[in-house]
Amino acid sequence: MTAAHYDYIIAGAGASGLSLAYHLVNAGLGDKRILLLDRAPKTQNDRTWCFWEVGESPFESVVFRRWDKVWFHGKGFSECLDIRPYTYKMLRGIDFYRFMQDWLEQQPNITLNYGNIQQIQDSGEGARVVLDGETYRAHWVFSSLYKPTPPRPGFHHLLQHFKGWVIEAAKPVFDPTRATFMDFRVEQQGQTRFTYVLPFDTRRALVEYTVFSPELLKPEEYDAGLRQYISQYLSLSPEPGNRNPEPYKILEQEFGIIPMTDTPFVLQQSPHVLNIGTAGGRTKASTGYTFERIQQQSRRIAQSLRATGQPFSLPSFNRYAWFDSVLLDVLTYHRNPGKEVFSDLFRHNPPQRVLKFLDEQTALAEDWFIMRSVNLPAFARGALEVLRHRLFGPLIGGQRVES
């Protein structure tokens, strides 16, 4: 039996797979035959994406909440930051999946199949994907199937792990016009720990307890962190003698782990197979933000395919990857606590400059101001260590690392 043939197969229909399909059609490639594959339809609100941008997102109609004023609570610095012209946006997974489902139903050339992807392999003029024993072929395959890479000496491997509760308070306590971007007032325990609060209205909010560290916590530690924060900083604790002892209800929960690593990601698995999303190195190593970077990657792939028939040329050296490595080194080896690093950044710079820097859009002069604002000895030490690893380690995968 001959295998079904497509122009593009997108393996994994999560954030990056769905975004890529959307951007391909928007770039004028709607006449191509596209196959999207995933394990099962998305029916759960399995994650919440936050990101900032100037102007509108392609998914603006389903953005759940947006803020242009955000709180930052750090070391010796607490301020409500006006981030305009940026807007900080919250997109719920389920709203994005439903939006994409409705959109896919209107795309005659896109097929969505479900099953377990067992194999992706280059074959001659294209590549083939095996889904539950069935083979599909395409000229290009884009894969977001992510397998954590084993730690490599000389590179940094932190995890961003977090637990969030959507809570409903018994009394109005939230200001829905202001989100809390980072609140470092929680116990740091020798790591980088913060919470963020995304208020939906005066009584409901997503409160997220986040840790940057090499190892996960025990499940009860996230709950304890959330409970403590909600009681201490949101003033939601049972009042003695109150007839309603429950100060809030937990409506939903989410848990996530995002890799924070500068290990080089393989973008092109083989001549006709490209990795996208987290698997394609789109997670920013120093912050874990991925969603906006997925949109940029999807746009770039679509434009390149449209213009040249090739997905994209591989990026050359990027100075921000270097900055990410240095920050990871500073955090990993406790050269300067994360709480102080982020406090210094926001205290000594306009928030717009910090967000632009994290977006990798700053000019060299702006980078200079960012560098001047952090603890110079700690960062100089980190930079030297990263340089040492890159220069004097053995070569693995095009990068020099320690043996």
Angle at Cα 88 formed by Cα 84 and Cα 89, nearest 5°? 140
Min dist. Cβ of residue 398 to ligand FAD (A): 23
Min dist. Cβ of residue 107 to ligand FAD (A): 18
- Find tokens 């409970």 and name the residue: 227
Nearer to ligand FAD, 236 or 354 (CB): 354
| 63 CB-near residues (< 8 Å, 6+ apart) | 57, 89, 90, 91
Half-sphere exposure of 330 (CA within 13 A, CB side): 26
- Find tokens 């953005």 and name the residue: 63
374 contributes a contact to ligand FAD by CB under 6 A: no
Rounded distance between C-alpha atoms, residue 51 and residue 33, angstroms: 31
Q: Find the binder of ligand FAD among 8, 10, 16, 81 (CB under 6 A).
A: 16
297 contributes a contact to ligand FAD by CB under 6 A: no
User: Residues 125-144: x/- map of binding to ligand FAD (CB under 6 A)?
Assistant: -------------------x
Tokens of residue 142, six digits: 């884009």
| Contact (CB, 8 A) for 28 and 75 | no
User: Residues 34-53: x/- map of binding to ligand FAD (CB under 6 A)?
Assistant: ---xxx-------xxxxx--
3-state helix, strand, coil in the chain (%, to 5): 30, 30, 35
196 contributes a contact to ligand FAD by CB under 6 A: no
Nearer to ligand FAD, 17 or 337 (CB): 17
281 contributes a contact to ligand FAD by CB under 6 A: no
Q: Find the binder of ligand FAD among 12, 154, 259, 281 (CB under 6 A).
A: 12
Rounded distance between C-alpha atoms, residue 79 and residue 70, angstroms: 8
Min dist. Cβ of residue 347 to ligand FAD (A): 24
Tokens of residue 71, six digits: 């709180």
Using CB under 6 A as the binding rule, the residues of this chain from 87 to 116 that contact ligand FAD are 116
| Contact (CB, 8 A) for 370 and 357 | yes
Count residues binding ligand FAD (CB under 6 A): 28
Binding residues for ligand FAD (CB under 6 A): 12-17, 37-39, 47-51, 116-117, 144-146, 254, 256, 258, 277-279, 289-291
